[in-house]
Structure 1
Amino acid sequence: MRIQRWLAALAAALSTTLALAAVDINTATVAELDGIKGIGPATSRLIQEERKAAPFSDWNDLARRVKGIGTKRASKLSKEGLVVNGKSFDPSTATAGSATAKSGAQRDLGKVAKAGKADKPPVSAK
């Protein structure tokens, strides 16, 4: 009987701990964001800045607006307790390459910049 009560108390404590561990990106403080493994001060600042414009609607919105958060990182952050509007990351709803893929214009600009460097003659050492 004592063991059953002890196990019930343990289960209740664990479920409370897991419920408290969820950190919603739209309401979290900088300290709470920094407490999530995988979010450092730089990412925390980016999240805060983007959140000033508008709250994040879902994980895809987060990935579009915050540089460096793609499907892989979103999955890891979700496992660490981060949620967007109370929802954990669901890979089946993720937009392919939402944060990591560059737009066509960005790719083309990168090619132009690299081509421009190649056209310059090398500087000779005297």
Structure 2
Amino acid sequence: MRRSVVAIIAVFTLVFAFSVPAFPSTDTSVNINTASVKELSSLQKIGPKYSQRIVEYRDTMGPFEAPEDIMKVKGISKKIFEMNKERIVVEDTTFEKKS
């Protein structure tokens, strides 16, 4: 009996250990001004449909000025923003020429 319990625990440990890398990373920041549809989809509750809307919005309206501006995209609620606000960044995508 004791060996079977140990074997079951070992199997579950191995399954969990090998499944963890399959989950999308939730510790990297996402620049919503440059991220691809795939990168945007790594945000919580943001699938390919919303990711495409984000890309289309920034292509039409220009770059986002603040992370909160993502809520201007249809379907991106305050709740979704709050879930992701630690990962969303807005970095300047233009380069000033030095004189």
Give the residue type in structure 2 aligned to 1:77. N
Deviations 1:41-75 (A, max 9, x none): 110110010111201111343212x0122322111
Residue of 71, 77, 89 corresponding to 1:83 = 89
**Any gaps of 5 or more consecutive residues in structure 1?**
1-17, 87-126
Structure with bigger RCO (C-alpha 8 Å, 6+ apart) = 2
After the TM superposition, which segments of 4 or more aligned residues of structure 1 sit over 4 Å from their partners? none
1:72 aligns with 2:75: no
**Any gaps of 5 or more consecutive residues in structure 2?**
1-26, 93-99
1:59 aligns with 2:53: no
Residue of 46, 49, 53 corresponding to 2:53 = 46
Give the residue type in structure 1 aligned to 2:29. A
Q: Which structure carries more helix by proportion?
A: 1
Q: Distance in 1 between matches of 2:49 and 2:85?
A: 18
Number of the residue aligned with 1:124? none
Q: Distance in 1 between matches of 2:70 and 2:29?
A: 17
TM-score by length of 1: 0.45
Structure 1 or 2, whichever has the larger Rg, is 1
**How well do the aligned residues superpose, as a CA RMSD in angstroms?**
2.3
Q: Distance in 2 between matches of 1:72 and 1:39?
A: 12
Percent identity between the two aligned chains: 38
**Displacement of 1:37 after TM fit?**
2.3
Q: Distance in 1 between matches of 2:83 and 2:45?
A: 8
